[in-house]
Structures are given as structure tokens and as C-alpha cells.
Amino acid sequence: MIALIMAGGSGTRFWPVSTAGKPKQFLPLAGGRSLLAETVARIDGLTPPERTLIVTGEAFVQRTRREPPSIPPENVIGEPLGRNTAPCVAVGTAVATARWGGDEVMLVLPADHFIGDRRRFHEIVRAGEAYCREEADLVTLGIRPVAPETGYGYVEIGEERRRAGDVAVHAVRRFVEKPDRATAERYVAGGRHLWNSGIFLWRLCVIREAIEKHVPGAAALLTAIEGVGTGGLSAVLAEAYPRLPALSIDYAVMEKAENIATVPADFPWSDVGSWNALGDLLEEDEEGNCVAGAHVGVDTTGCIISSPSRLVATIGLRNLVLVATQRAVLVCPRGRAQEVRAVVERLREEGREEYL
């Protein structure tokens, strides 16, 4: 198997810890290691480092090469600009096809997700891999929803296609964009909907064909990449990227293709989409707060506190996010953590680059 780690995130949602110079995948949000290092460790045993590709922004190639030192430097590929995940998958597909041929199965996974049970993750991926070897389908891992999340997309499952032990592969009936609360509650109760994880499995020739068919301009890119060696790659990308559309692989391919399947997965998972998600990742202390750093709380509970280098003292607080860095302090209700983007936007508009 081959792995493609998508590490193109810009990370405004974890401001002020994540910044333009240090996007989310480099943050140790779930413990001592960065999310990227966790991701590389997660696939250990599924693919060898020589067959793991990482696609990231050009500015982060050097840092990415240092971060998971097991990956060969030439396997870290820099994008000249961010164009969402469809071009990223196209690049990974073409590079992998050129190196290892189109019959290999490729696991595609974001660099900045959390998965709580690595053994179970391997079992699910192995089942999906086996399915992909036999079927010309595009497979997405679908997470069994544990709450009516409105921040995730969902996939509706169809009939069972294959089963190995307690892992099944299902057809996908359709993709659903982020639903409203009532709809999400129905989905969770109904048992026919899964969170769309953004983790994929497919044979290289299968995704290659789907990209050619569905992503405008990608066919030429695929051919161009396959025609040059590692040395010529960056010139090809510099030439092609500005003309590619910024589309997600979900929107550009998965929602349009017919040959979609899903492996329902029951491991703990989070896309770590905002500070609020740390409530799922970090263990609560005895007062019911998730704390990374030093905290003294009087009558404080349900808070998420991240402050590596200074003490956070709180009195009479409930369900807030509190983040302190050298440059800035962020305080907001957990339910509004997504709005950090608005703060970052405002700072950008006001030209206060020193905080970004």
C-alpha cells in the first residue's frame, strides 16, 4: 500500500497558536507530538516510509522533512500555492503512479486529524484495502457518529458490499453537506449516516481516471507529472497550479462519481476543526477542564485551556476556550470557537500581521 498525507492546512482555526508560519499540522494539540508526527506514526505498519508521500505548502517543505524524519526527503512534495485537496490528490496520484504503477492501493489522509485507536484504524484500513484490490471503487472511511455534529459532512450508506469479520464495506447512496441540528439528530438516530472523514482508499488507476474525468485541467497535470522525474516536479507544479481550480476532492470527485463505497469506522476520530475539539482529545482533569499548561481554577469547569508558558487563573467560568501564547490571548465560549476565523480575518484587514 501507498500513503498520501495531505498537509496543506493554513490553520487559522487554531489561532493564536497556529499562525501563517506554523499551521495546525505542526501543533502538538493532542499530546507531545505534532499532529503531522502523529499521522506518520499512525500509518506505521500499514505502509513503509519509502512509500509514504506528504504534500504540503512549498514554504513548509523543509520543516515537514524535519518533522517525521523517517520519510525520505524526496517524498515531501511542495505545492506552489494552496488549491484545496483535489489538486493535492492529483499530484500524489501522479507521483505514486509514476513510481509504483497504477495497480497499487493508496491511503489518503489529512495530516491534522485525530484518531484514538490505532489498532482499530489499521483493521479498518486493511479491510478497505482488500476491497479496493478487487473493486474499482473510491472508498471513504465513514465514522459512526457519536453526536449530532453540524460541523461535519455525512455519507448515507447503501447496501453492504462485502464483510470481513466485524468490518463491512457499504455502497454510498449520497453525500450530505453539513446538516442543521435537527437533521443531524435524525442521522445519528437513524444509523444510516456516517461522518465523512476525508480519509480515502483507492487503487491509483481508479482515482486517476476519476480525476481525469471530474477535475478540470487535472488530466494535463497528471500526464505532465508522470513525464518528469522528481527533479522536474516543482517546475511542472509552478506552471500548472495557478490555473487549477481550488476544489476539495469530496466536492470535485466523490460527490460526482458513481463508484463510491465506504467502510463504517468505529474508532474515536476528530478532524480537530477548532479549539472546541480539544475537549474530545484531551482528558478532563478532576474539575472537568481540559488543560494543556498551568491552570489555577476557582469554580471553573468545562473549559479548554491551552497555555504552554504562562499560568492561566480563572474564577467562575463555564465552557470557555482560553488560549495564551507569547503574542496573544484568546477567550471565547466553546460553542463559538469556529469564529476565531473572524478574528484572524479582522487582524488581516487591519494589517496587524505581527499577530498572524
**Nearest partner of 338 among 351, 321, 355, judged by Cα:** 321
Cβ proximity of 271 and 286 under 8 Å: no
* Number of chain residues interacting with a second copy (CB under 8 A): 35
- Does residue 314 touch a second copy according to CB under 8 A? yes
Confirm or reject binding of residue 346 to a second copy (CB under 8 A): yes
**Position 205 contacts a second copy (CB under 8 A):** no
Least separation in angstroms between residue 38's CB and a second copy is 27
Q: What is the dihedral of CA 60, 61, 67, 73, to 10 degrees?
A: 180
- Give the residue with the Cβ less far from a second copy, 219 or 356: 356
Cα–Cα distance for residue pair 270/306, rounded to 1 Å: 18
CB 321, min distance to a second copy, A: 9
The answer to the question of residue 356 lying near a second copy (CB under 8 A) is no
Question: Which grid coordinates are listed for 153?
Answer: 459532512
Contact between residue 117 and residue 268 where contact means Cβ atoms under 8 Å apart: yes
| Cβ closest to a second copy, residue 178 vs residue 310 | 310
Rounded to an integer, what distance in angstroms lies between the CA atom of residue 261 and that of residue 121? Answer: 17
CA distances (Å), 206 to each of 135, 138, 270, 349, in order? 9, 7, 27, 43
328 makes contact with a second copy (CB under 8 A): yes
Residue of the chain from 126, 273, 333, 348 that contacts a second copy (CB under 8 A): 333
CB nearer a second copy, residue 15 or residue 195: 15
Question: Which C-beta is closer to a second copy: that of 164 or that of 313?
Answer: 313
CB of 11 to a second copy, least distance (A): 16
Give every CB contact of residue 136 below 8 A, 6+ residues apart in sequence: 203, 206, 259
Candidate segments 79-87, 108-116, 153-161, 314-322, binder of a second copy by CB under 8 A: 314-322
Residue in 312, 322, 325 with CA at minimum distance from that of residue 356: 325
From 49, 200, 30, 179, select the one nearest 112 (Cα to Cα): 30
Q: Is 324 in the site for a second copy (CB under 8 A)?
A: yes
Task: Establish if 310 lies at the interface with a second copy (CB under 8 A).
Answer: yes
316 interacts with a second copy by CB under 8 A:
yes
Contact status: 315 vs a second copy (CB under 8 A): yes
Q: Which of 62-70, 143-151, 254-262, 342-350 is the region at the interface with a second copy (rule: CB under 8 A)?
A: 342-350
- x/- track of binding to a second copy for residues 242-281 (CB under 8 A): ----------------------------------------
Identify the CA nearest to 271 among candidates 167, 155, 55, 116: 116
Please name the residue that has the C-alpha cell 458513481.
Answer: 258
Residue 180: exposed, middle, or buried by beta-carbon count in 10 A (0-12, 13-18, 19+)? Answer: exposed
CB of 350 to a second copy, least distance (A): 8
Q: Tell me the closest approach of the beta carbon of residue 17 to a second copy, in angstroms.
A: 12
Q: Given the DSSP bridges, would you call strands 269-270 and 138-143 parallel, antiparallel or unpaired?
A: unpaired
Using CB under 8 A as the binding rule, whether residue 302 contacts a second copy is answered as no
- Closer by beta carbon to a second copy, 103 or else 345: 345
21 touches a second copy (CB under 8 A): no
DSSP result, 254-303: ITT-S-EEEEEE-S-EE---SGGGHHHHSPP-TTS-EEEEEEEEEEEES-
Residue in 217, 298, 308, 353 binding a second copy, rule: CB under 8 A: 298
Nearer to a second copy, 121 or 275 (CB): 275
Applying CB under 8 A, which of residues 16, 68, 264, 279 lies at the interface with a second copy? 16
DSSP state of 207: H
Q: Which residues bind a second copy (CB under 8 A)?
A: 15-16, 296, 298, 307, 310-317, 320, 322, 324-333, 336, 339-340, 342-343, 346-347, 350, 352, 355
